[in-house]
C-alpha cells in the first residue's frame, strides 16, 4: 500500500510487474464509500444534539447554554477528573488538588455528590447544586465565637442523599496557616498510619492489637468475639486524615465481614454504642454510604433487649444471640451505671433520624424522663441506679469513672439538637451548679480539681477520665452566654491546667490513671494501681477544645509534649502500647493498643493542628468516643431520613 494523499491507494501489478500509478480521480465505488462515511458522520453529530434532554424539553440555544452554565457552576472537575493520586505527591498530600484552592470542604462534598448523581442517572440532566450558601465557609468558620455564629447558622434544610461508596465527599483539608502546625499534623498522621498498619498486619479483624506480642487482643467489654473494634472505632479517623486506601479496605471489611449475628457472648451496651454505633453513624454522616447506617442499625437492634427492664433503664451487658441482659456482678445491688445508661442519647437520637424509626429515640427519651422524675441528693446524680426499683444505689458521685460522659451528653444533646433540647441544657447547668458547689476544690498550691464524693465525704482524687471536663466546660461557656459562662471558662482553663500538671509531674510526661491532692503531693498518683497510662485521650481532648475555643497556643504546645512522650515511651515497631507506671524512667509497657487511641487520641491531636474548617464545632458534635455527629438543622450532612 502507498500513501499519496488523504485516502490510501493501492499499487497495481501486471504479470508481477508494478504498474506506474497514474490515475488522478476515484472510481464510482470509492466515491460512494466516501459519501456514505460523510453522511454517517453528519447524522451522528447533529443527532446527538437532538437527543440531549434539554432539547427534548424545549428551547434550543438557550438550553445548550443552560447545560453549559450548570456544568460551569458545578466545577470543571466534573468533566475533567482530578489527577491520579500517584501524581499528587506523598501520602499526607493525598487531596492536594482540593486543598490548594482552599475550598470549603462542604462545597467540595456537594460536587462529589453531583458526580455520584450523574453516574446514577446515567445521563447528563439538570445539575442543580444544593444551596449550601449559608453554611459557613472555611474562612468564616475560622476563629468563630460559637455563640455569635449560631445566629448566622440557619440554613435551609438540605437532605444529602446516600452516595456510592466510591464517591464520598471530601471532609478533609483543614491545613493551618502555620507551618509548624502543618508539620505537626503530618507527624500525627504518620502515627495513625503506624498504628493502623500494624493492626492490619498483626490483628486484622480482631478487636485490638498487642503491639509487642504482634497479635490480636480482646478486652471483656467486647465479649469473646473478634468484632474488629479497631476498624469500627478507627474508620472515621482514617477518613478525616484522608487515608483513602486504608479507609476503603476497612469499609469493605465492614460491608463484607462484620456479622453481628455471630456474636454469642455478652458485650457492653455502652462500649458497643459509643464505639461501634457511634463510629458507623459518623462514617454514614461523613460519606453518605448506607452500609454504615445499616450496620449502625443492625448493631443498635442487638442492644435493644438491654432496655427490657422494669424501669427501662438498660442493663450494662447484653448477649447479642440470646438477647438476655444483666448488670456487672461487682456493682453493689445490681445497679446500672450512670455514665453507661446516660451515654446513649446522641447515637440513638441520630439513628432514629437517619432511619426514620422512632424506637431508638423513644428508649433514650424514656431514660431522660426517669432521671428527671428522680430526687437528686443535693442536686447531684449518684453513679448507680437500680434498673428494677428505679432507686439510686450507693451515693457515690464522680465526674470521672462511672459518671463522666453522662454530663457530657447533657450538653451535647442540646448542641446536637441545634440548641432546641433545652431540657438537656437545663439539666447540664443544674448538675454543674451542684458539682461546682460540692465537688470543685482548689489545692493548697492553687490547682483546681474535681473531687469525688462518697456519701457526702470528698475523696481528693481525680481520674484521667475526668480531664475531659476542661474541654466540655469550655464548650458550655462558648455556646451560651449566661451568668455561668464566665465561670465555666475559668474552671475549664484551670482544670485543663491541672490535667497538664498531672502529665508534667511525671518523668515520662504522660499522666497517670488517677491523681490525688494531699498535703505535700498534688496532681500525682499515690497508689501503684493508679500509675498506669493506657493511651487515653481525655487530657488531649481538652487541649483540642480549649485551643479551638481560645486560640491560646499553649494548648498546641502541651499537645506536642504529649506527642513527643508517646513517641518516646509508647511507640514500638509493632504499634503503640500503654505504660504500667508513668513515674518510672524506663516504664514497662502493657502491650495493648487501645481502639480509642485511633478513634480519639490521634484524632484530637490531628484536629488540634488543623484549622477550624475541619469538623467545625458549629456543625459537628463529637460523641464521647470522638466520633463526629452532625448538628441538626445546620449541617447538610445530617442526612435525615425522608420517610
Ligand atoms: C473512651 O472509650 C470514651 O472516651 C469513654 O467515654 C471513656 N473512656 C474511653 C477512653 O479513655
- Give which of 514, 515, 513, 516 is closest to 533, Cα–Cα: 513
* pLDDT score at 525: 98
* pLDDT score at 45: 54
Say how far apart CA 579 and CA 534 lie, in whole Å. 6
Mutate to test the pocket of ligand 1, among 219, 510, 624, 627 (most ligand atoms within 8 A of CB): 624
Question: Can you tell me which atom of ligand 1 is nearest the CA of 536?
Answer: 11
* pLDDT score at 169: 62
Q: For residue 433, give Cα distances in angstroms to 35, 419, 483.
A: 90, 20, 11
- Our separate counts of H helices and E strands in the chain read 24, 23
Cβ atoms of 169 and 288 within 8 Å: the answer is yes
Are residues 54 and 183 located together in one domain of the fold? no
Q: Which residues contact 212 (CB under 8 A, 6 or more apart)?
A: 572, 574, 577, 589, 591
- Protein residue whose Cα sits closest to atom 6 of ligand 1: 624
586, pLDDT greater than 80: yes
140 part of a folded domain:
no
Q: For residue 523, give Cα distances in angstroms to 404, 462, 517.
A: 19, 8, 6
- Give which of 358, 418, 333 is closest to 153, Cα–Cα: 418
Mean pLDDT (whole number) for 511-517: 98
Say how far apart CA 451 and CA 440 lie, in whole Å. 6
CATH code, domain with 465: 1.50.10.10
* pLDDT score at 37: 77
For residue 536, which phi and psi values (nearest 5 degrees)? Answer: -65, 155
CB-based pocket (< 6 A), ligand 1: 405, 465, 536-537, 596, 600, 624-625
Rg (CA), the chain: 30
Are residues 623 and 482 located together in one domain of the fold? yes
Percentage of residues in the chain having pLDDT higher than 90: 70
Q: 425 or 86, which is more confident?
A: 425
Q: Domain end: 70, 98, 114, which one?
A: 70
Question: Can you tell me which atom of ligand 1 is nearest the CA of 626?
Answer: 4
Give pLDDT tens digits for 442-501. Answer: 999 999 999 999 999 999 999 999 999 999 999 999 999 998 999 999 999 999 999 999
* pLDDT score at 48: 52
Give pLDDT tens digits for 18-60. Answer: 444 444 556 677 777 777 877 777 676 555 544 443 333 333 3
Q: Name the grid cell of 77.
A: 472537575
Cell 481502639 appears where?
595
Which residues is 326 bridged to in the sheet? 317
Q: Name the grid cell of 255.
A: 460491608
- Protein residue whose Cα sits closest to atom 8 of ligand 1: 465
H/E element holding 459?
strand 457-459
Cell 450532612 appears where?
637
Q: Name the grid cell of 388.
A: 428494677
What amino acid positions are annotated as catalytic residues? Answer: 513
Cell 498504628 appears where?
195
Cβ atoms of 361 and 347 within 8 Å: the answer is no
Question: What is the SS3 assignment for 292?
Answer: helix
The answer for 402, left when phi > 0, alpha when psi is -120 to 50, beta otherwise, is: left
* pLDDT score at 225: 84
* pLDDT score at 39: 74
Q: Name the grid cell of 507.
A: 518523668
What distance in angstroms lies between residue 533's CA and the mean position of ligand 1's atoms?
13
- Protein residue whose Cα sits closest to atom 10 of ligand 1: 536
What distance in angstroms lies between residue 108's CA and the mean position of ligand 1's atoms?
32
Q: Domain end: 53, 70, 87, which one?
A: 70
**How many CA atoms within 13 Å lie on the side-chain side of 46?**
6
Q: Domain end: 22, 48, 70, which one?
A: 70
169 part of a folded domain:
no
The DSSP bridge pattern shows strands 317-319 and 325-326 to be antiparallel
Question: Can you tell me which atom of ligand 1 is nearest the CA of 404?
Answer: 6
What distance in angstroms lies between residue 624's CA and the mean position of ligand 1's atoms?
6
Give pLDDT tens digits for 181-213. Answer: 999 999 999 999 999 999 999 999 999 999 999
552, pLDDT greater than 80: yes
Mean pLDDT (whole number) for 362-371: 98
Are residues 485 and 612 located together in one domain of the fold? yes
114 part of a folded domain:
no
Mean pLDDT (whole number) for 537-556: 99
Are residues 574 and 456 located together in one domain of the fold? yes
91, pLDDT greater than 80: no
Cβ atoms of 611 and 142 within 8 Å: the answer is yes
Report pTM. 0.78
Cβ atoms of 356 and 412 within 8 Å: the answer is no
Mutate to test the pocket of ligand 1, among 221, 536, 592 (most ligand atoms within 8 A of CB): 536
Mean pLDDT (whole number) for 298-321: 97
Cβ atoms of 470 and 542 within 8 Å: the answer is yes
Say how far apart CA 310 and CA 389 lie, in whole Å. 7
What's the mean pLDDT when you consider all of the chain? Answer: 82
Say how far apart CA 184 and CA 190 lie, in whole Å. 10
What distance in angstroms lies between residue 603's CA and the mean position of ligand 1's atoms?
13
What distance in angstroms lies between residue 169's CA and the mean position of ligand 1's atoms?
28
Q: 534 or 70, which is more confident?
A: 534
* Domain assignment of residue 46, given as a range: 12-70
Question: Can you tell me which atom of ligand 1 is nearest the CA of 538?
Answer: 11
Q: 173 or 241, which is more confident?
A: 241
Say how far apart CA 163 and CA 535 lie, in whole Å. 35
What distance in angstroms lies between residue 179's CA and the mean position of ligand 1's atoms?
31
Q: Which residues contact 427 (CB under 8 A, 6 or more apart)?
A: 371, 372, 410
Cβ atoms of 380 and 453 within 8 Å: the answer is yes
For the chain, the domain total comes to 2
* pLDDT score at 220: 85
* pLDDT score at 33: 74
- Give which of 309, 338, 339, 304 is closest to 323, Cα–Cα: 304
What distance in angstroms lies between residue 525's CA and the mean position of ligand 1's atoms?
20
* pLDDT score at 84: 32
450 part of a folded domain:
yes
Residue 43, judged by CB atoms within 10 A of its CB (0-12, 13-18, 19+), counts as exposed
617, pLDDT greater than 90: yes
Question: Can you tell me which atom of ligand 1 is nearest the CA of 600?
Answer: 4
The pLDDT confidence band at residue 244, using thresholds 50, 70 and 90, is: very high
435 part of a folded domain:
yes
Q: 174 or 439, which is more confident?
A: 439
145 part of a folded domain:
no
543 part of a folded domain:
yes
- Protein residue whose Cα sits closest to atom 11 of ligand 1: 536
Say how far apart CA 275 and CA 283 lie, in whole Å. 12
141 part of a folded domain:
no
Amino acid at each position: 500500500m502507498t500513501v499519496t494523499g488523504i485516502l490510501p491507494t493501492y499499487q497495481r501489478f501486471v504479470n508481477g510487474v508494478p504498474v506506474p500509478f497514474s490515475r488522478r480521480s476515484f472510481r464510482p465505488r470509492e466515491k460512494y464509500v466516501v459519501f456514505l462515511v460523510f453522511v454517517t458522520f453528519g447524522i451522528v453529530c447533529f443527532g446527538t444534539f437532538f437527543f440531549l434532554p434539554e432539547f427534548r424539553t424545549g428551547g434550543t440555544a438557550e438550553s445548550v447554554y443552560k447545560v453549559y452554565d450548570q456544568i460551569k457552576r458545578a466545577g470543571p472537575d466534573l468533566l475533567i477528573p482530578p489527577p491520579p493520586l500517584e501524581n499528587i505527591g506523598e501520602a499526607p498530600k493525598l487531596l492536594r488538588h482540593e486543598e490548594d484552592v482552599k475550598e470549603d470542604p462542604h462545597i467540595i462534598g456537594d460536587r462529589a455528590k453531583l458526580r455520584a448523581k450523574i453516574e446514577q442517572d446515567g445521563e447528563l440532566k439538570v445539575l442543580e447544586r444544593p444551596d449550601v450558601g449559608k453554611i459557613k465557609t472555611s474562612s468564616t468558620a475560622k476563629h468563630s465565637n460559637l455563640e455569635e455564629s449560631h445566629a448566622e447558622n440557619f440554613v435551609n434544610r438540605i437532605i444529602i442523599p446516600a452516595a456510592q461508596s466510591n464517591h464520598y465527599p471530601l471532609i478533609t483539608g483543614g491545613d493551618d496557616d502555620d507551618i509548624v502546625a502543618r508539620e505537626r499534623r503530618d507527624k500525627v498522621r504518620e502515627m495513625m498510619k503506624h498504628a493502623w498498619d500494624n493492626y492490619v498486619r498483626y490483628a486484622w479483624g480482631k478487636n485490638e492489637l498487642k503491639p509487642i506480642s504482634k497479635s490480636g487482643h480482646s478486652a471483656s467489654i467486647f465479649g469473646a468475639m473478634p468484632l474488629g473494634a479497631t476498624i469500627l472505632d478507627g474508620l472515621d479517623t482514617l477518613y478525616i486524615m484522608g487515608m483513602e486506601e486504608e479507609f476503603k479496605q476497612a469499609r469493605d471489611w465492614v460491608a463484607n465481614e462484620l456479622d453481628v449475628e455471630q456474636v454469642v457472648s455478652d458485650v457492653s451496651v455502652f462500649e458497643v454504642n459509643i464505639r461501634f454505633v457511634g463510629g458507623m453513624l459518623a462514617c454514614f454522616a461523613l460519606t453518605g454510604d448506607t452500609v454504615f447506617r445499616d450496620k449502625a442499625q443492625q448493631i443498635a437492634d442487638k442492644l435493644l433487649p438491654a432496655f427490657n427492664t422494669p424501669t427501662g433503664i438498660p442493663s450494662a451487658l447484653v448477649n447479642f444471640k440470646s438477647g438476655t441482659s444483666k448488670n456487672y456482678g461487682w456493682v453493689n445491688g445490681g445497679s446500672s451505671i450512670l455514665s453507661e445508661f446516660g451515654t446513649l442519647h446522641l447515637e440513638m437520637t441520630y439513628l432514629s433520624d437517619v432511619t426514620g424509626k422512632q424506637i431508638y429515640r423513644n428508649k433514650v427519651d424514656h431514660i431522660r424522663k426517669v432521671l428527671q422524675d428522680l430526687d437528686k441528693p443535693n442536686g447531684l446524680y449518684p453513679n448507680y441506679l437500680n434498673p428494677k426499683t428505679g432507686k439510686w444505689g450507693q451515693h457515690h458521685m464522680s465526674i470521672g469513672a462511672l459518671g463522666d460522659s453522662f454530663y457530657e451528653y447533657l450538653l451535647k444533646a442540646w448542641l446536637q439538637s441545634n440548641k432546641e433540647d433545652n431540657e438537656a441544657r437545663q439539666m447540664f447547668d443544674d448538675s454543674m451548679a451542684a458539682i461546682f458547689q460540692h465537688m470543685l476544690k482548689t489545692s493548697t498550691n492553687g490547682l483546681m480539681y474535681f473531687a469525688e464524693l462518697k456519701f457526702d465525704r470528698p475523696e481528693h482524687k481525680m481520674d484521667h477520665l475526668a480531664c475531659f471536663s476542661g474541654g466540655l466546660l469550655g464548650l458550655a461557656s462558648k455556646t451560651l452566654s449566661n451568668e455561668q459562662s464566665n465561670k465555666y471558662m475559668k474552671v475549664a482553663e484551670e482544670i485543663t491546667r491541672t490535667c497538664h500538671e498531672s502529665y508534667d509531674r511525671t518523668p515520662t510526661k504522660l499522666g497517670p490513671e488517677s491523681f490525688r491532692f494531699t498535703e505535700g503531693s498534688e496532681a500525682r498518683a499515690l497508689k501503684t494501681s493508679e500509675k498506669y497510662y493506657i493511651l487515653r485521650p481525655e487530657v488531649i481532648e481538652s487541649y483540642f477544645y480549649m485551643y479551638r475555643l481560645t486560640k491560646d497556643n499553649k494548648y498546641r504546645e502541651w499537645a506536642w509534649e504529649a506527642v513527643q512522650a508517646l513517641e518516646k515511651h509508647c511507640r514500638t515497631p509493632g504499634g503503640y502500647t500503654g505504660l504500667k507506671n508513668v513515674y518510672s524512667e524506663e516504664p514497662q509497657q502493657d502491650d495493648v493498643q487501645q481502639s480509642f487511641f485511633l478513634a480519639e487520641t490521634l484524632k484530637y491531636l490531628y484536629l488540634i493542628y488543623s484549622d477550624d474548617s475541619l469538623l467545625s464545632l458549629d456543625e459537628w458534635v463529637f460523641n464521647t468516643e470522638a466520633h463526629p455527629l452532625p448538628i441538626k438543622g445546620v449541617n447538610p450532612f445530617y442526612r435525615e431520613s425522608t420517610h
